Amino acid sequence: MDLTYTAEQNAFRAEIRAWLAANVPATRLPSFDATPAGFEAHRDWERKLNAGRWGMVTWPVEYGGRGLDLIQWLIFEEEYYDAGAPLRVNQNGIFLLGPTLMEYGTPAQKARFLPAMANGDEIWAQAWSEPQAGSDLAAVRAKAVRDGDEYVLSGHKIWSSRAAMADWGFGLFRTDPDSQRHKGLSLVLFPLDAPGVRRQPIAQINGEIGFAELFLDEVRVPACNRLGQEGEGWAVCMATAGFERGLMLRSPARFQVAARRLLELYRRHEAELDATVRAAVIQAWMDADAYALSIYATASRLVAGGQIGSEASINKIFWSEMDIAMQRTALSILGARAELTRLAPDAIEEGVWLDSYFFSLAGPIYAGSNEIQRNIIAERMLGLPRA
């Protein structure tokens, strides 16, 4: 066990820190979920990152990455969040579909989709959930009917993040009409501007259009847009879900920066606050560091050739609950100012804590609700019987 960085790792940290210092926009970009202008500003940022080969440092060089290991990825993320760099508008692509493509994609699919993804030319949305298939994802009804060299997609997808403005979707479809549950499903990639796709933005709790409904009416896509074998879509999706809940989507640096901002907020208002708030601020530091230590341990294990297991579900419960606790502490510090929006002259930090609080409430729901994660832990990790 050696919990110190190598000279090479320190040099890498210095390199990314210098690049970010020179390139991160001085003012916060407008939300990518509110307006097309905000969305495009984030797309431009993705292109800038990619031009510096900083888009996805763990990807192979041929797809725009640097072929680095997970420890270096963690260092990248630490510097990225430390620098206050923009959120990743293409996170569904680069963090979820990208790794899945690397694992299941044909060489042609990788060449077709990964470079465009890395450059932000194609921003991705996930199209899995349906009105009757939420936590019970295996109840998917949307179908992909084979017709020669094409699939014809029909159905109703919902809660699709970024889909209001994204370019492409990766959806779970029933390719075998006689199949039940987890069998007979396939993952198919489709352009969101294809004929037959109608998008209906859904306003979120904060008023922004962070997700959309997708109505698919005989949308034709080439059969080579299927990722993985026909009928094996469930396994492909579960691999993606592992990336989503686990290592990639919520890197620890995000929460360590949030804990530090909470600490700074506390210090500015310390005179008005009692010991319970102080204890909660200390707890935020502990929890964010515990999450970081856990991810470093997992990354070390994976770098040494290990496999990821139930960490994905465990991690998701921990970070989502930690996030809510931190945001609630922040609101308790703001007191009567907690309800002020960015439009209020007396709002603290332009009401950003309110935004973060609302967003934290989504954490235990998306990427598989925490109730489902607890079932997964109980059944697969603890070996308890299925109901």
Partner 1 sequence: MNFTFTDEQAMIGETVRSLLAAECQGSHLRALMRAGATHDAGRWRKIVALGLLGSLVPETVGGLGLSACDLILVAEACGHAGLPEPLVETAGIALPLLAALPDSSRAAAWLARAMSGDVTIALGHPVNPFVLDADVAGAIVLVVDGALHLVESAEATLIAQPSVDPFRRLFSVSAPTSAATMIATAKAAAPVLAAAVNRGALFTAAQLLGLAQRCNDLAVAYAKERQQFGEPIGSYQAIKHHLATAQVRIEFCRPVVYAAAAMPPDGGMHAKARISHAKLAATEAADLAARTAVQVHGAMGYSWEVDVHLFLKRSLALANAWGTPLYHRERCAMRVFGAPVGPAHTFAQELRHD
Note the residues at the interface with partner 1 (CB under 8 A): 1-6, 9, 13, 71, 77-79, 81-82, 252-253, 256-257, 259-260, 263, 278-279, 281-282, 285-287, 289-294, 296-297, 299-301, 304, 311, 314, 317-318, 371, 373-375, 377-379, 381-387
Task: State the minimum distance, in angstroms, from the CB of residue 110 to partner 1.
Answer: 30
Beta strands in 192-272, from DSSP E residues, in sequence order: 197-202, 211-222, 226-227
Q: How far is CA 379 from CA 152, 181, 364, 385, 386, in A?
A: 37, 19, 19, 6, 7
In angstroms and rounded to an integer, the radius of gyration of the C-alpha atoms of the chain is 21
- Residue 74's contacts (CB-CB under 8 Å, 6 or more residues apart) are 251, 252, 253, 295, 296, 299
The token pair that represents 241 in the structure block: 């879900």
Nearer to partner 1, 149 or 274 (CB): 274
Q: How far is CA 41 from CA 31, 125, 199, 212, 332, in A?
A: 9, 18, 22, 20, 33
Active site residues per annotation: 244
Task: State the minimum distance, in angstroms, from the CB of residue 328 to partner 1.
Answer: 18
Task: State the minimum distance, in angstroms, from the CB of residue 90 to partner 1.
Answer: 22
Task: State the minimum distance, in angstroms, from the CB of residue 254 to partner 1.
Answer: 9
Nearer to partner 1, 350 or 379 (CB): 379
Cα–Cα distance, 357 to 362 (Å, whole number): 9
- In which residue are the tokens 């094996």 written? 232
The token pair that represents 274 in the structure block: 């009692």
CA atoms within 13 A on the CB side of 4: 2
Nearer to partner 1, 22 or 304 (CB): 304
- Residue 201's contacts (CB-CB under 8 Å, 6 or more residues apart) are 164, 209, 211, 212
Nearer to partner 1, 45 or 266 (CB): 266
Nearer to partner 1, 347 or 372 (CB): 372
Report how far Cα 15 is from the mean position of its chain's Cα atoms. Answer: 25
Task: State the minimum distance, in angstroms, from the CB of residue 8 to partner 1.
Answer: 10
